[in-house]
Amino acid sequence: MQIEKKIEISMLNQIYGNLLTNNQKQCIDDYYNKDLSLTEIAENINISRQGVRDVIKKGENRLFNYEEKLGIMNKTLKQEKKIEKLLIELTKIQQDYSDKQINKVLEGIKKELNCLL
């Protein structure tokens, strides 16, 4: 399995997991975040390995559908990239200008932006 997919599903579960059934949310968390095998999850919740796989696949599909409709993860990732770009620009300004008041204001802005990441 691709690392990117694991991260994506883990992030989607964090954002939309409360919209899933408890079983879907828990199985996805166990599989993607706790790195449990399908067999281990099946033993923990007393269903078949195939049953766990079905629960995870249905949960994944719901997560992707929520993201397609709401786009929260995509918006968040775009916002983080914009914030990182602004922080780089602020750092460049700080390096180019030595005015202490400007540096103080820019440092405050950078702290606020870092809190958003």
Q: Using an 8 Å Cβ cutoff, are 39 and 7 in contact?
A: no
Instruction: Give the Å distances, CA to CA, from 94 to 53, 89, 114.
Output: 53, 9, 16
Percent of the residues in the chain that have a pLDDT greater than 70, as a whole number: 97
3-state secondary structure (DSSP) of residue 97: coil
The pLDDT of 65-78, averaged and rounded, is 94
Residues 31-50: pLDDT tens digits? Answer: 999 999 999 999 999 999 99
3-70 classified as CATH 1.10.10.10 = yes
What is the DSSP secondary structure assignment for residue 20, as one 8-state letter? S
With b meaning 16 or more CB within 10 Å and e meaning fewer, what string describes 61-92?
A: ebbeebbeeeeebeeeeeeeeebeeeeeebee
Q: Where are the domains of the chain?
A: 3-70, 75-116
